[in-house]
Amino acid sequence: MRRPAAKPIRLATRADPRRGAVAPARRVDDLDRRLIEALQENGRESFRRIASRLGVSEATVRARYGRLTGEGILQVVAVTNPLGLGFDQALIGVKTSGPPSEVADEIARWPEADYVVVTAGRFDLVVEVVVGDRHALLDLTNRIRSLEGVTSTETFFYLEMWKQLYDWGTRGQGGAE
């Protein structure tokens, strides 16, 4: 059943720290792409060294970094393997009875959900979760099932992390120059 006063989601121009870098595509140029690729290669490299490699000033790198992070295009974080830290992890496909935005908004607020996307195909949403144990996963799955608008879920429990990389670069994509 639809709520009568459903409002569309509006993404802020700055990334919401609870949702991560989820801003819609923005205009990036070749220098932005090269900066992103340098940070994907080594997120701890100094702006001075990056500037030297890119042939621009440190102030330019700092300003570009500030704009890219402020607009939600770039996020520099320490990436871990949750399974290696003793957590359980799963991907949950969610079907909804209507537009998935309200369900996505709710799940995105939960600390266990580290990835929430609206998809085309078999599921309306795909949610990646990290939990302390299987009992917590069962509780979380039941919480998702109890949300208004959720018609079904399918859980894919991670047995082993085989590949997890974030160094795909920009591949010349990401907006017109």
pLDDT digits (tens, 9 = 90+) for 97-146: 999 999 999 999 999 999 999 999 999 999 999 999 999 999 999 999 99
Contacts of 16 (CB under 8 A, 6+ apart): 22
Beta pairing, strands 125-131 & 150-157: unpaired
DSSP for 34-50, written as a single string: HHHHHHHH-TTS-HHHH
pLDDT digits (tens, 9 = 90+) for 154-175: 999 999 888 877 766 676 554 4
CATH of domain 88-157: 3.30.70.920
**Domain 12-79 sits in CATH 3.10.180.10:** no
The pTM assigned to this predicted structure is 0.71
E strand or H helix that includes residue 118: strand 113-118
Angle at 142 between CA 138 and CA 145, to 5 degrees: 140
Residue extents of the structural domains in the chain: 12-79, 88-157
Domain 12-79 shares a fold with domain 88-157:
no
Q: Are 166 and 127 in contact (CB under 8 A)?
A: no
pLDDT digits (tens, 9 = 90+) for 5-26: 433 333 444 445 555 555 566 6
